[in-house]
Amino acid sequence: MKNFVNLNVNPCKMCMPMGSITAFYGVSKCMTILHGSQGCATYIRRHMATHFNEPIDVASSSLTEEGAVFGGEKNLIKGLDNLIKLYDPEVIGISTTCLAETIGEDTEGIVARYREARPDLRARIVTVQSAGYAGTQFEGFFRTLRALVEQTEQDATPNGRVNIVTGQISPADTRWLKGFVAAHGIDAIFLPDLSENLDGGHAEVYERLPSGGTPIADVAKMAGARATVELCTFYDEAYSPGAFLNNHFGVPLFRAALPTSLKDVDALAGILVGLGGRQNAAPTTNAKSNVGAACSRPPDAVNRARLRRLDAMVDSHKQNAQARAAVFGEPDFVYATCRLLVENGAMPVVAATGSVCPDFREKLAEVIAEVQGFHLGENPFIADDCDFTQIETAALEQRANVLIGSSDGRRISEKTGIPLVRCAFPIHDHVGGQRVRTLGYEGGLMLLDQVTNAVISGVETTFREELKGRYYHPSDSDHDASSASKVLSFSGQARESSKPRETALQAGDPVKGHPCFCGCEGARAARIHLPVAAGCNIQCGYCVRKYDCVNESRPGVTSGVLTPEAALARYLAARETIENLNVVGIAGPGDALASPAATLETLRLVREADKDVLFCLSTNGLALPEHIDALAALGLTHLTVTVNAVDPKIGARIYQHVDYRGMRLEGEAGAAALLANKFAGLARAKALGMQIKVNTVLLPGVNDAHVPEIMRAVKETGCVLSNIMPMIPVEGSALAHLGKADLAEVDRLRALCEADLPQMRHCAHCRADAAGPLGHDVPLPSALAEGKAS
Amino acid sequence: MKTSILEERQKSIGAGGAGRGLSCDQDSVSGSVSQRACVYCGARVVLNPITDAFHIVHGPIGCASYTWDIRGSLTSGSELYRNSFSTDLQERDVVFGGAKKLAAAIEEIVADYAPKLIFVYATCIVGVIGDDVDAVCRDAERRFGIRCIPVKSPGFSGNKSFGYKMACNAIMELILPHRLSEEAYQKEATGVNILGDYNLAGEMWIIENYLREIGVPVHATVTGDASYESLISAPRAALNIVQCAGSMIYLAGRMEEELGVPYERVSFFGVEDTTDSLLRVARRVGGPDAEDRARAFCARRAREIRPVVEAYRPHLEGKRAAIYVGGGFKAISLIRQFQSMGMEPVVVGTQTGRPEDYEVIRSLVGQECVVLDDANPAELETFMKLKGADILVGGVKERPLAYKLGVAFCDHNHERRHALAGFEGVVNFTKEIHDSINSPVWRAIA
């Protein structure tokens, strides 16, 4: 799926009411009502229930048409009355939705009138403006914390306690944080405290409204605390509870990142040590000076945990250096996780958030810069306001080998085969969302271990085959079929497909089995293109890369680039549904040999699973001499090379540049290099006995008169079939102005050239992920089925 | 002091047997914590299984985010429907209108994907800010020669079943141009369309296999594993068979009236319902010996699964079941299934049941059974405790409540990964009930 401008495709964010409800869950005996239509509450309940595995009760004012037109006061008041009857809460959170904000509800006015009309009202009411279109769950969460502090009458009498404010961290991480703070001898008020309400025990009597969380009486004491520690990196002063307490009550404010990385746990410990033992004096706001001035050291247990963390970091540092992580989610989570990765030598190749977060790029670039030198100049993808389509594209381009975030990344994982470490909200498809640990010396390490293990598994399950493919080159004399079968006999995985396959293959006539090479006779034969080769090494004047177009023809289009493993899975699944699936081809979407590792690995995996299927490859030929032997060793029998010109002068008008061995060659130099390699590769292919087809893109006014010459030249190389294709003009390409050659002209040229070479007239301009008989592409089974097939 | 039953909810709570009608199909009571979603949700869950359509949610991100790939509907073709497309409206769009953004989004899709079919869902704020979604869609159809169908589903415009209706209207809009002349219909119509199955865990395929077995061709599957091409063949069917009546009876009615396709209600949950349904379909549209084939087929399949079901029966007999599901048809099938297993339904409720559903439900259960419409967690808690339910059948939101109360649970939601329909489904269902109700974990917490 491409990246759209006006559409969010597969959102990496949720809406403000989600964050608001979650924050209210951290307050004791608090019931939330969403002022809006019924669905918002239900969706959010469902989302939270699957993640936390707790009953999630959220009321709704259930606005109807009448409410939307005449205002929702009546509904909201009735809703408040009803939820009080059912839940008897001490605190009521009212979060508005898109609908309430759009119709301009004066929620505070309604609440004021409600209070007045019910003088015996016991519950405190806190209102939050949380229109879904005005921010994500991240903003909704902090807005709610701020509203809680602002709207609770504060008692500023010094109480010696410390306020700890966090974003959405898991209940298990909250429990750790409480223990960690207590271990430093600090009496703290946590806002919020999600430790119990979203991860409760099995009690004998069910509490309809859980009583864990921060008592509202404690929230009222936050102004009297001796300091606030806000664990938040991307704060907005206007919605920061700590800033409010600091501005209005002079409570000193410390900020630190979520304590996932060693240095961030250290930083928090430093702040706590600084605050420890100074029960009666407010510290200065400079955390660094406090670390030095600490009168108490971190407690022993904490120290031991830290030493274990150091030990573990050393133990797995070499594996971590292999990690290329794509991290996505809330800005603070991505920041903290990338800090963890870089201090362990792992490379965050993608850092993305769905929120609109202006500082995100800069801060993340700063974090990742620490490890870029170690990785010798990687160029990571960093972006806010991202959807999962962008994240998927970036992960593939950056060759990520592990995804880190919520379970929403599972679709990318399913499709590309890149493993996903689930450690952020929401986790829908695994259990234990409420117990996820990412904070502290132990919690950060648990996350790191998962990342390390994902990388190790990736290597462990593939290295034998990969290294064999790379280094095991049998001698030239073995190059024919026997070398392929040798590779095969090693594996026990080869199995028969349930679909019948044309017997022409067994009869030993490779031409008959290939739908392109055998014309009408091949009408029943099917092929599958596996889109594994993303990059291209030349720029053709008729191709616009942003459309994913390949070197030649308008194929190129694919719905996604696959990893070799995913490609194998797709082939195996396709084999079950497509009859006469004789051929596996690699045709892009870039150039098959511009990404030789992916192409060779794919063919190797398929060959291992299927010793009979024909292999076919389409290339511009630039990298052909380097790889033709390896291709032959894998049993490649059919080769298509695009030849648009055999004169560098003409080639120079077609190719804008050619990237060859680290150099960008332009003009005739580029065309000449391309031409020389094409023919060297073709000669070798002929020597290896391959079936060779040459594609020629007909470019009116550029190479039309040149075509007969091309035919004669390629015939000498052993080419058996020519495919003259009219250019498909792609808007924005350098040669789009040429327009499409008319069919009569194409026919005339084909007839003219027929004398030299047989002409292909049934070309279907296949996509890079086509499957089926020519012109009858069949839809492939679901990605789920693909996953299972492997 | 906490109450458990709000006064305004009393009229939606009754018991088995005869008696005054139950109040249902009404707007939810504000503040009652209804388990229902909204109009948009109703429309989205019905249409989303159409695999090769672009489903564009015109609205703020939440609506799209919470319904992304929401159903476990499987596909034999395109994977497109598993993506979430949203115009992701922002504050400025709310002020200045979002129609332009929508039109641009459609243009972008057309430029790159040559779609045949786009659905545009209008959400709450679109209904308020007054974007003319109809005009944008009409314009797109005219300019690009595609089908671009608006789904009028602002959340506040009714309850979830109103959303089903809006989805049905959208489907009608899609298939109406492919109507046959009366003469052609009389001559050519064959086989059936399957309405109201969503191919959860491949259930549509199970039903299709059965129909193939007895020689009944299937045209459109609405909407499980549906595609544009298959849907527009719907007017050629001699009969619509309707499973989930709550979502699809309205479409069946319109198709009968406007296309002349009659319908028959069916259910493929449980041995009895499945057998009965296949026999009726065979009788109406099968060839001369279709009914005999159906009878033989059902007898054979029932025989095959009997030993498995019988093995579980002693462990399940006498247990009490609570049912809280989306629609009436599912509740009714579940009651029959539990009764055939020797279990007793003690609480039965639905989110969107219709009056006739509740009549059937009350006629099937005992007088001790509580029957309720649009229940909330407090009521479910109260009645499950009161009636000593051993298991609750419900959706994702109800599961943690059951577990907290120490009650077993059966996931009859649209995210499940195992088929509950057909003969295969009976085995899965029986096993799931057993796995939960007789799990050793209950001994640990007792």
Predicted local confidence at residue A767, as pLDDT: 64
Closest residue of B to A12, CA-based? B65
Q: Which of A2, A5, A206 sits opposite B404 (nearest CB)?
A: A206
Q: Provide the pLDDT for residue A559.
A: 58
- Sheet containing strand A538-540, edge to edge, reads A538-540, A655-660, A663-666
Q: Does the pLDDT of residue A634 top 80, yes or no?
A: yes
pLDDT (average), residues A306-331: 96
- Structural class in CATH, domain A16-150: alpha beta
Residue B393, pLDDT > 50, answer yes
A56: tokens are: 């999630």
What is the predicted pLDDT for the residue at B317? 97
Q: How far apart are CA A779 and CA B386, in angstroms?
A: 52
| Contact criterion met (CB < 8 Å) for A102 and B124 | yes
Average pLDDT over residues A123-134: 96
With pLDDT > 70 as the criterion, what percentage of chain A qualifies? 86
Assign 3-state DSSP to chain A and report helix, strand, coil percentages, each to 5. Answer: 45, 15, 40
- Give residue-wise pLDDT tens across range A328-385: 999 999 999 999 999 999 999 999 999 999 999 999 999 999 999 999 888 999 999 9
Mean pLDDT of A577-600: 86
The per-residue pLDDT for A502 is 41
Å between B240 CA and nearest CA of chain A: 27
For A776, other C-beta atoms within 10 Å of its C-beta total: 14
Query: Which homologous superfamily is B7-26+317-415 in?
Result: Nitrogenase molybdenum iron protein domain (3.40.50.1980)
E strand residue ranges, B113-166:
117-122, 147-152
pLDDT band of residue A276 (cuts 50, 70, 90) is: confident
Stretch (H or E) spanning A381: strand A381-383
- Cα atoms in the Cβ-side hemisphere of radius 13 Å centred on A697: 28
Chain centroid to Cα A334, Å, comes to: 13
Nearest to A191 by CA among A251, A135, A240, A156: A240
Which 558-587 residues of chain A touch chain B by CB within 8 A?
A: 559
Cα–Cα–Cα angle for B53, B54, B55, rounded to 5 degrees: 105
DSSP per-residue codes, B247-308: HHHHHHHHHHHHH---EEE---SSHHHHHHHHHHHHHHHS-TTHHHHHHHHHHHHHHHHHHH
| Beta carbons of A86 and B34 less than 8 Å apart | no
Question: How buried is residue A661: exposed, middle or buried, by Cβ count under 10 Å (0-12/13-18/19+)?
Answer: exposed
A99-108, A242-251, A559-568, B163-172: least confident range: A559-568
> Is 70 exceeded by the pLDDT of residue B115?
yes
Closest C-alpha among B99, B261, B104 to residue B171: B261
Kindly determine whether residue A83 and residue B31, on different chains, have CB atoms separated by under 8 Å: yes
- Comparing CA positions, the residue from A581, B47, B431 lying closest to residue B57 is B47
Among A504-508, A551-555, B219-223, which range has the highest average pLDDT? B219-223
Choose the weakest-confidence range: A376-380, A413-417, A532-536, A770-774: A770-774
Domain boundaries, chain A: 16-150, 162-201+208-296, 308-460, 510-789
Q: Indicate the residue type of B271.
A: V
When the candidates are 3.30.2320.30, 3.40.47.10, 3.40.50.1980, 3.40.228.10, the CATH number that belongs to A308-460 is 3.40.50.1980
Q: Provide, rounded to the nearest whole percent, the portion of chain A with pLDDT above 90.
A: 54
Query: CATH class for domain B39-176?
Result: alpha beta
- pLDDT tens digit string along A54-88? 999 999 999 999 998 899 999 999 999 999 999 99
User: Who has greater pLDDT, A389 or A777?
Assistant: A389
Predicted confidence (pLDDT) at residue A288 exceeds the cutoff of 50: no
Average pLDDT for chain A: 85
Q: How far is B56 from chain A (nearest CA, A)?
A: 9
The pLDDT value given to residue A548: 44
Question: Residue ranges per domain, chain B?
Answer: 7-26+317-415, 39-176, 179-300
A15 vs B contacts (CB less than 8 Å): 60-62, 65
- The answer to whether residues A596 and A661 touch, using CB atoms and an 8 Å cutoff, is no
Q: Which CATH architecture has domain B179-300?
A: 3-Layer(aba) Sandwich (3.40)
Pairwise CA distance, residues A226 & A251, whole Å: 6
Touching check for A546 and chain B: CB below 8 Å?
Answer: no
Average pLDDT score over residue span B303-325? 96
Q: What's residue A287's pLDDT?
A: 44
Strands (E), B85-174: 85-86, 117-122, 147-152
Distance from CA of B386 to the nearest CA of A (A): 14
pLDDT value for A478: 52
Residue B288 tokens read as 């001369």
Please determine whether the domains at A308-460 and A510-789 fall in the same fold group of CATH: no
* Residue-level pLDDT at A258: 98
* B295: helix, strand or coil: helix
User: Residues B279-290: what's their mean pLDDT?
Assistant: 92
B:108-167 residues touching chain A, CB 8 A cutoff: 108-109, 112, 123-125, 127-129, 154-160
Residue with tokens 């057909």: B422
Q: How confident is the model at residue A775 (pLDDT cuts 50, 70, 90)?
A: low
Average pLDDT of chain B is 95
pLDDT classification of A165: cutoffs 50, 70, 90: very high
Q: Flag whether pLDDT at A286 surpasses 70.
A: no
Residue B48's pLDDT band (cuts 50, 70, 90): very high
In this structure, which amino acid lies at residue A89? Answer: P
CA distance A721 to B207: 48
Over range A121-135, report the average pLDDT.
Answer: 96
Residue A206 main-chain phi, psi, to 5 deg: -80, 130
Q: What is the ipTM of this complex?
A: 0.94
Write out the CATH class of domain A510-789.
alpha beta
Residue B192 exposed, middle or buried by CB count within 10 Å (0-12, 13-18, 19+): buried
Q: Given pLDDT bands bounded at 50, 70 and 90, which one contains residue A789?
A: very low
CA angle B141–B144–B149, rounded 5-degree value: 25
Closest residue to A15, CB basis, from B65, B85, B155 = B65
Question: For the whole model, what pTM was predicted?
Answer: 0.76
Whether residues A57 and B125 touch (CB distance < 8 A) is answered with: no
At residue A777 the predicted structure's pLDDT band, cuts being 50, 70 and 90, is low
Cis-peptide into A589, omega within 30 deg: yes
Decide if B39-176 and B179-300 have a common fold. Answer: yes
Handedness of CA A97, A100, A104, A107 (dihedral sign): negative
* Domain covering A162-201+208-296 assigned CATH 3.40.50.1980 in the classification: yes
Which two structure tokens, joined as six digits, stand for A316? 């797995």
Please, which pLDDT band fits residue A247 given cuts at 50, 70 and 90?
A: very high
**Cβ separation B93–A411 shorter than 8 A:** no
What is d(CA B320, CA B180) in angstroms, rounded to the nearest whole number? 50
Residue B400 touches chain A, beta carbons under 8 Å: yes
Judge whether residue B142 has pLDDT over 50. yes
Q: Is the model's pLDDT at A290 over the cut of 90?
A: no
| Residue of B186, B167, B164 whose CA lies nearest to B175 | B167
Q: Which residues lie below 8 Å from residue A569, measured CB to CB, with a gap of 6+?
A: A417, A786, A787, A789, A790
Query: Predicted confidence band at B266 (pLDDT cuts at 50, 70, 90)?
Result: very high
Nearest residue in chain B measured CA to CA from A2: B112
Check CB contact under 8 Å for A97 and B85: no
Average pLDDT over residues A720-732: 83
Mutate to test the interface with A, among B50, B65, B157 (most CBs of A within 10 A): B65
| 3-state SS class at B342 | coil
Q: What are phi and psi of B290, to 5 degrees?
A: -60, -40
Cα–Cα distance measured from residue A626 to residue A619, given in angstroms and rounded to the nearest whole number: 13
**Which of B328, B242, B348, B238 is CA-nearest to residue B285?**
B238
Q: Which residue stretches of A207-284 are H helix? A: 216-219, 241-249, 262-275
Q: What is the arithmetic mean of pLDDT over B125-150?
A: 96
Angle at A660 between CA A659 and CA A661, to 5 degrees: 125
Q: Which one of A5, A8, A384 would you mutate to disrupt binding with B, by most B Cβ within 10 Å of its Cβ?
A: A8
DSSP-assigned letter for residue A589? B
Rounded-to-integer distance, Cα A152 and Cα A28, Å: 14
- Coil vs helix vs strand at A564: helix
Q: Is A295 helix (H, G, I), strand (E, B) or coil?
A: coil
